[in-house]
């Protein structure tokens, strides 16, 4: 009876929240129609769609729906006809923001190929075996490196850890690594790997916004984060391991994972994948190739890898479609975002705001400006990390150019804005994903561990900004 009452209360509160969202959305659209009626699109009121996007993301509305609502509000302000709406949507398909979404689809397709062929399993096993495990400390280091590298190669937290977690948990069971320590290993190692990933959507967005190569992005943004993750992570995880071991926070005995690394086809496919990935990264660094290179490289690498594993062309395409289709919502998100920014640019509120505050900005310290923007990006702009990059650059990028902010400094601002909230100050989807994959439920320890890394990273990037 109690369970029935609890379920009824939950459904009632959920229904109330949805009703409140619907009423607020209707009010927002009406407010935007008033802005459009008075031709105030080029004033600060023209930023109302961006505010609507932020509010509904924070409220918990699906990010694609929040973006669609913001886009509808922008069209209402601009008083666009259906033909004009179609024109904006069509023009956005060739926008770099939309292309980032398409790259994400290609990466997910490649990830599914690696999972299906056994290459991902082989990579994790090879990394763990190559570390030379002699103690719990070296086991922790091996698990961190495996998490970091597999995520860096696949470019996604959820998909990569879904592949690697069963192997790493079996390894943790064998070496008596606790669930608490494993969850933080996934957080520190996996999220550092996401920062290093050459084809992750948010990283491509940073390189595109700052107009830098992958090597420059690594130098000023990702590598410092990965190094700090290892420096802070190893002692923190070892401490958590000792504390959790006292209360017996171990995994139950698990059935051993069957090894596929001795299969000749898997070994060959692994070599093909690593060779193709390295060749692509080197070529991209040498030619300073832009966001479009992965559109060719990722499906070609997937094709060559799967074919060398003995898959037929039909099987390869089916596997690739399944992986790409799993994140179709990201492509739609970036397409809608690109359209939204195109409409906002058409209205012109940013230009007028900059003109109005030009004298104030000239006297503002560049160092203070980048610190403020980074902080706003961390706690003030919600959404997926790639969307945060696009929003921060869209809102503040023009001001940064006028103030002479260097590309290196802008890399730091964007990586901190988009990835800092992974570690705090509030729970983040990436953090919860790491907990779920580690089969651990106590958010407190994972969140505190995130803060322990966030604080030195904040100090590190603040110091780096002085010199770049």
pLDDT per position as a tens digit, 387-407: 788 888 888 888 888 888 999
How confident is the model at residue 320, as a pLDDT?
93
Range from 115-124, 125-134, 186-195, 210-219 carrying the lowest mean pLDDT = 125-134
DSSP 15-41: HHHHHHHHHHHHHHHHHHHHHHHTT-T
- Give the separation between CA 127 and CA 5, rounded to whole angstroms: 50
Q: Tens digit of pLDDT for each residue in 208-245?
A: 899 898 999 999 999 999 999 999 999 999 999 999 99
Helix, strand and coil content of the chain, in percent to the nearest 5, comes to: 80, 0, 20
Model confidence at 332: pLDDT above 70: yes
Q: Is 29 or 157 the better-scoring residue by pLDDT?
A: 29
- Whether the CB-CB separation of 163 and 121 falls below 8 Å is answered with yes
For residues 451-461, average pLDDT: 95
Residue of 180, 146, 242 lying closest to 438 (CA atoms): 180
Spell out the long-range contacts of 15-24 with Cβ–Cβ below 8 A and sequence spacing 24 or more: 17/60, 21/56, 21/59, 21/61, 24/55, 24/56
- Could you tell me where the DSSP H helices lie in 211-292? 214-217, 223-246, 264-287
Whether the model pTM is above 0.85: no
Which of 107-111, 182-186, 252-256, 341-345 is predicted with the least confidence, judged by mean pLDDT? 252-256
Confidence of residue 4 (pLDDT cuts 50, 70, 90): very low
Give the mean pLDDT of 269-288: 86
136 or 72, higher pLDDT: 72
pLDDT band at 5; cut points 50, 70, 90? very low
DSSP state of 383: S
Looking at per-residue pLDDT, the higher value among 78 and 134 belongs to 78
The DSSP result for 392-437, as a single string, is HHHHHHHHHHHTT--HHHHHHHHHHHHHGGGSSSS--HHHHHHHHH
The DSSP letter of residue 253 is: P
Mean pLDDT along residues 123-142: 84
* 6 pLDDT higher than 60: no
CB 85 within 8 Å of CB 186: no
CA–CA distance, 362 with 402 (Å, rounded to integer): 9
DSSP 8-state assignment for residue 61: -
Q: How confident is the model at residue 353 (pLDDT cuts 50, 70, 90)?
A: low
Cα separations in angstroms, 153 against 149, 159, 222, 270, 278: 6, 11, 14, 12, 10
With both helix axes pointing from N to C terminus, report the angle between 119-131 and 96-117 in degrees, rounded to the nearest 10.
80
* Pick from 202, 192, 225: nearest CA to 459: 225
Residue 306 has pLDDT above 90, yes or no: yes
User: Residue with structure tokens 């320890």?
Assistant: 445
| Per-residue model confidence (pLDDT) at position 3 | 47
For the chain, what is the mean pLDDT? 85
H-only helix segments in 348-384: 349-356, 358-362, 366-379
Query: Which comes out higher in pLDDT, residue 277 or 4?
Result: 277
- Give the mean pLDDT of 303-313: 92
pLDDT at 272: 93
pLDDT over threshold 50, residue 432: yes
- Other residues' Cβ atoms within 10 Å of the Cβ of residue 98: 21
pLDDT one-digit tens code per residue, 75-93: 999 888 999 999 999 999 9
CA distances from 325 to 107, 111, 172, 245, 301 (A): 11, 12, 32, 41, 18
What is the structure's pLDDT at 462? 95
Query: Which helix H or strand E contains 449, and what residues bound it?
Result: helix 443-467
Q: What per-residue string of b and e applies to 115-147 under the rule 16 or more CB within 10 Å gives b?
A: bbbbbbbbbbbebbeeeebeebeebbbbbbbbb
CB neighbour list of residue 32: distance below 8 Å, 6 or more residues apart: 48, 49, 52, 73, 74, 76, 77
- C-alpha 436, offset from chain centre: 17
For residues 231, 233, 234, 235, the Cα torsion angle rounded to the nearest 10 degrees is: 90
pLDDT band per the 50, 70, 90 thresholds, residue 354: low
């Amino acid at each position: 009876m109690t369970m029935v009452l609890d379920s009824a209360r939950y459904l009632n509160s959920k229904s109330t929240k949805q009703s409140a969202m619907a009423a607020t959305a209707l009010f927002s659209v009406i407010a935007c129609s008033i802005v459009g009626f008075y031709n105030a699109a080029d004033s600060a009121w023209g930023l109302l769609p961006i505010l609507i996007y932020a509010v509904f993301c924070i409220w918990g509305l699906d990010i694609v729906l929040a973006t669609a609502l913001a886009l509808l509000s922008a069209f209402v302000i601009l008083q666009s006809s259906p033909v004009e709406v179609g024109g904006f949507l069509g023009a956005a398909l060739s926008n770099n923001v939309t292309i980032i979404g398409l790259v994400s689809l290609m990466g997910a397709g490649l990830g599914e190929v690696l999972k299906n062929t056994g290459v991902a399993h082989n990579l994790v096993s090879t990394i763990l075996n190559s570390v030379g495990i002699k103690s719990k400390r070296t086991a922790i280091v091996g698990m961190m490196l495996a998490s970091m590298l597999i995520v860096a190669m696949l470019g996604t937290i959820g998909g990569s850890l879904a592949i690697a977690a069963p192997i790493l948990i079996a390894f943790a069971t064998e070496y008596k690594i606790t669930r608490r320590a494993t969850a933080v290993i996934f957080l520190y190692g996996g999220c550092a790997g996401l920062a290093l990933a050459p084809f992750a959507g948010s990283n491509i967005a940073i390189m595109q916004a700052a107009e830098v190569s992958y090597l420059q992005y690594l130098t000023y943004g990702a590598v410092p984060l990965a190094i700090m993750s290892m420096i802070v992570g190893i002692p923190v995880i070892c401490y958590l391991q000792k504390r959790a071991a006292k209360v017996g926070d171990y995994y139950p005995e698990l059935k051993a994972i069957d090894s596929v690394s001795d299969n000749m086809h898997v070994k060959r496919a692994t070599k093909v994948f690593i060779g193709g990935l390295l060749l692509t990264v080197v070529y991209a660094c040498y030619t300073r190739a832009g966001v479009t290179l992965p559109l060719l490289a990722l499906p070609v690498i997937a094709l060559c890898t799967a074919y060398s594993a003995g898959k037929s062309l039909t099987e390869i395409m089916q596997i690739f479609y399944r992986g790409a289709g799993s994140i179709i919502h990201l492509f739609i998100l970036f397409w809608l975002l690109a359209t939204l920014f195109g409409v906002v640019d058409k209205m012109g509120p940013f230009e007028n705001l900059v003109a109005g505050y030009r004298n104030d900005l000239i006297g503002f310290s560049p160092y203070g400006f980048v610190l403020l923007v980074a902080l706003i990006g961390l706690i003030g702009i919600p959404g997926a990390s790639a969307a945060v990059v696009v929003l921060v650059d869209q809102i503040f990028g023009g001001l940064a150019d006028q103030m002479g902010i260097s590309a290196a400094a802008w890399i730091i601002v964007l990586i901190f804005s988009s990835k800092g909230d992974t570690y705090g100050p509030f729970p983040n989807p990436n953090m919860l994903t790491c907990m779920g994959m580690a089969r651990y439920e106590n958010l407190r320890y994972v969140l505190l561990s995130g803060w322990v890394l966030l604080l030195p990273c904040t100090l590190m990037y603040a110091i780096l900004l002085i010199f770049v």
